[in-house]
Structure 1
Amino acid sequence: MSAQAMLPDRRAAWGRARPRLLLALPVLLLAGAAACGLSAWRGARANAGIAALDAGRDIPITAEAPAPLRLARVMALTRRGQTEEAEGLIETLETGPETQLGARARYALANTRLRRAFAHLARNELDPAGPLITLARQDYRRALQAWPDFWDAKFNLDVASRLLRDFPEFDRKSGDELKAEPKKIWTDIPGQPRGAP
């Protein structure tokens, strides 16, 4: 079959398909516009929820909410010291694809626990401070497992570790796998000798 004979067949096929395509095109464009509008509406709702949480209003969030909204809820809960309620949302963030958001949430929880421990230490209440510092260290480690380059978590983990080491009165028999030496009195500053003072 020659090329000239195939040309009328193509024109006939195009002539039959053209009305159907012209009818389908507006429907496809309308479906695409509806999908974009729904996505914009969800984004606007999430942004309004984040703004409300930042303003101090308490908004209930489900586990299916967008990840940035769940992170904002965790931040609001940890600011108020509601660590138990925040932990459930943190676990949903850690299992999702955005691991850095889970690391930020875990970091916020650890900071809340460390602040509580500092408040106990300021009142010379060592018994409740020790477990809080241990939990904060574990949370900082979990944040670093999800995001190894999270410098703030590294720094705060070091602070919490030094607190455990510097206060030998803390009970270190449970909750933490790394034990500090109870009689360690010399400095760990690089370049300083470990001899007599």
Structure 2
Amino acid sequence: MSESPRAQYRQTLARFFARWRSTLLLALLAAALAGALQNAVAAWRARIDNAAIGALAAGRDVETDSASAPELIAARVEYLSAREEFDKARALLEPLDAAGRDELSAIAHYDLGNALLRRAFDLLERGQLEPAGPFVELARREYRRALQFQPAFWDAKYNLDVAARLVRDNPQLEHSGGDELPADPKKIWTDIPGAPKGLP
């Protein structure tokens, strides 16, 4: 009596698994080990990043680069902004924005905007209206960037309005020359030693 097709199929499967069982087991073991290693590395990186973020929060600087975790970059932007290291903080915003973490980008731009606006207020309180202008403009720019990432970011909207009111109340704060203060040709010319008065 011949075997049924179902029995033949089972025998074929049994022979296949008998032949390839050790290879399949090794492949499964390798995949499990690779997954475990990947999880261990991710956990180790998370511990390192958390320690670095804690150091920044405690007031100790930690170097970052474009490959750093977005959370770490955002924490360093806040650290540098609070210490008025504006150029270093702004340099970190590009890799942070490229990471695609909109909420972190919004917070980082907002933090930098706040630091710039605080600097502007400090200058205004000392009666230094002209130097305050660029800081107000840069703060407005950072608040706008924060709102591009998080349109419902109410604090950024409010602070943008505060900066805009400063400009409305003090039109001399309006600054259209980018990040540089406009040069006063009259002052430059007369300040050069030995330069004749009047037109050249």
Instruction: Quickly name the TM-score band, shorter chain normalised.
Output: 0.7 to 0.9
Structure 2 residue aligned with 1:21: 24
CA distance in 2: counterparts of 1:151 and 1:144, whole angstroms:
9
User: What's the offset of the Cα at 1:122?
Assistant: 0.7
Structure 1 residue aligned with 2:198: none
User: What's the offset of the Cα at 1:170?
Assistant: 2.6
Question: Which structure has greater helix proportion?
Answer: 2
Q: Indicate which of 125, 138, 156 corresponds to 2:128.
A: 125
Q: Does 1:113 align with 2:116?
A: yes
CA distance in 1: counterparts of 2:79 and 2:117, whole angstroms:
17
% identity of equivalent residues: 44
Counterparts of 1:8-87 in structure 2, within 5 Å, are 8-87=11-90
CA distance in 1: counterparts of 2:178 and 2:30, whole angstroms:
61
Over 3 Å counting, the alpha-carbon distance change for 1:65 and 1:3 in structure 2 is: same
Q: Indicate which of 125, 145, 149 corresponds to 1:146.
A: 149
Unaligned runs of 5+ in 2: 180-200
Matched AA of 2:27: A
Matched AA of 1:137: R
CA distance in 1: counterparts of 2:26 and 2:143, whole angstroms:
58
Unaligned runs of 5+ in 1: 177-197
CA distance in 1: counterparts of 2:173 and 2:9, whole angstroms:
89
TM-score normalised according to structure 2 size: 0.83
Deviation string, structure 1 residues 21-42 (Cα, Å, up to 9, x no partner): 2233332222211111001000
User: What's the offset of the Cα at 1:47?
Assistant: 0.3
8 Å Cα contact 1:91/1:102 also seen in 2: no
SS in 2 for 1:62: coil
Q: Which runs of 4+ in 1 moved over 3 A?
A: 171-176
CA distance in 2: counterparts of 1:53 and 1:73, whole angstroms:
7
Give the superposed CA RMSD.
1.7
CA distance in 2: counterparts of 1:133 and 1:23, whole angstroms:
64
Residue range with higher mean Cα deviation, 102-111 or 165-174 = 165-174
User: What's the offset of the Cα at 1:93?
Assistant: 0.9
User: What's the offset of the Cα at 1:172?
Assistant: 4.6
Structure 1 residue aligned with 2:105: 102
8 Å Cα contact 2:167/2:174 also seen in 1: no
Aligned length: 176
Deviation string, structure 1 residues 59-80 (Cα, Å, up to 9, x no partner): 1111100000000111100011
CA distance in 2: counterparts of 1:102 and 1:133, whole angstroms:
20
TM-score normalised according to structure 1 size: 0.84
CA distance in 1: counterparts of 2:88 and 2:176, whole angstroms:
27
